[in-house]
Structure 1
Amino acid sequence: MKRRDLLKVGGVGLAASAVAAPAIAQTNPEIKWRYTASWPKALDTLYGGCEYFAKRVAEITDNKFQIQAFAAGEIVPGLQVLDAVSNGTVEMGNTALYYYWGKNPAFTFGTSLPFGLNTRSHISWLRFGGGMDMLNDLLKEYGCVGVPTGSTGAQMGGWFRKEIKSMDDFRGLKFRVGGFAGTIIAKVGGVPQQIAGGDIYPALEKGTIDAAEWVGPYDDEKLGFVKVAKYYYYPGWWEGTGQGHNIMNLEKFNALPKHYQAAIETASYDTFTWVTGKYDYVNPPALKRLLAAGAILRPFPQEVLEACYNAANGIYADLSKTNPHFNKMYTSLSAFRNESLAWNQVAELSYDSFMMRMRTRT
């Protein structure tokens, strides 16, 4: 090849590179988002999951898509995340959707329906049973779109100043309880209170409330509840799981390149394993420490569980008659719950029960 021909070919190659580079840059724009959470920084698993998510998005996009996490109160209070994302104050947030049951009771299906599904069954219903599609139909009315992130697993029943022996002990009880479960507590005679995580301890300490639930041993220990209420009840029947969600402003999300949208979804599901796995690891030793610190572990009496279960089913039947979103999700979840429980009874329950019995022999 002649030298002038080589230069000619090389020139074409250089020209092509010059044209291609801006095109590549345009498909990987530098974008910065703000990401507000419902959690204080002290909760290093829930808020830590937000930091982990933002880090994963940056890694996946070669640091072109930067998402900065903000704890509850740094931009908006913890219970106003949906509003902040909806009105464009921030591009996205991390929250428990049941905090917004006052806007629509169907939001409770995003986090946990009382007496609903456990963690594995819930993520299965969301991803494969149409649950997330139905939730996004609801979120669309608020200009948002969501994707599941970490779950706490089954939660504890909370901290009480006095022992719960029967339903009479719920009469007039001022109980901080998250989300839709408050309607059930009210139906059985309690007085539900919805208070953000960072404000629970002072309310319990001052006697403004008589009892409070949050998540489980690891977070409850960090918030110091054992210092002001000794009776620690289980199970948290209102949260067989505690599923969190990333919610994005729909207009902002649709404006992202498709692979940035995929980065959000991929990192969100990665965060599910991070948060849920960490809770399963840190809760057992935390429970031991709480018992050593004076916590008195108690199961809810069968009478209490059954009364709350019956009250819940009555509320669900009424809401299904008047709320199309609720009816559609409840019909779907109930059918799946029956199938899931039958399967879990065969495999998961029998295995876990055997291993728990054997634990005392080794």
Structure 2
Amino acid sequence: MVSHRRLAAPGFDRGANAALCFMSAAAAALGAVPATAAPQDDTRAKVDRLYEEAEKATEAYNKADERADRLREQVSRSQDRIARQQDSINSMRDTLGSLAGAQYRSGGIDPSLVLLLSDDPADYLDKAARIARITAHQAGQLKDLQDAMRVLAQERAEATRKLTELEKSRKAVVAHKRTVEHKLAHARRLLNSLTAADRAAYDRASRSGRDDMQAFFGSAVPASGRAAAAVAAAQSALGRPYIWGANGPSGFDCSGLIQWSYAQAGVSLPRTSQGQRYAGRQIPLSEAQPGDVVTYRNDASHVGMYMGNGQVIHAPYPGAPVRYDPVGMIPGATVTRV
């Protein structure tokens, strides 16, 4: 959810604390809709709430989808191990079967009778000793077979459990997807009920067209080389559409933009905004530098990237492209240095 105000003027990097406090207070004040608000204002407030709810559902969808992907990989690895273990067991069974057949063919007469009938008792005793060694070896192989079969049974039970979890996760993905689609459709209907002027006011012009970016962001520099690379990647995504559940490169949801931007810098971040909040070291908002991850709300259901001069780049909501907005657009920002 975003408050619909003009962007902050340049100059954030001097007196940052005062500017941030002002923006946060203003955002908090604008978040309340007076009881006497005009119908158009009330409609915009409802759209804001729907977008916020849809964003939370989107992050839940991303989390469930990420879990489903992880479970698919685990199930695939388990199935590979099961296949290899089954081949090993089959080979062990064949070896034991051959030994058993040979013993049956050569050991059909009672050993004491063989000794009595033998012309060379010493030769018999030597053969018996060899048979005893073979039998001991066979017993060891039989134990190995039993152990392997027990491990195989455990692997199969674990694979079955993970398949059950995967099905539950898949259903959760579908449920979250429906929730998002329902809320976004409702928001679109409400937006379509606004006048053209109010729709234009709601869909503020993006700041993606500035040429004097150095002046816009002042003297702020990224905290590291990888942060600088992530900033460059995020800037390259300016103007691309918000697509829920997407992580680039043609479109993004809020956490998808941050994950993709850092991936271009060679850094693997979690898929969800909640995971991204804890993907590094927490720092005060007053110490934010370009490339820092900024999450919003208690549940971290929205995320952007700090760019300097009190601005973040983010994927706001459906219909609004990746753009710059004031870091105080939503109260309660938390900053993470990756």
What range describes the TM-score normalised by the shorter chain of this pair?
A: under 0.3
Higher relative contact order (CA 8 A, sep 6+): 2
Q: TM-score, normalised by structure 2?
A: 0.24
Greater helix fraction, Structure 1 or Structure 2: 2
Tell me which structure has the larger Cα radius of gyration: 2
Q: TM-score, normalised by structure 1?
A: 0.23
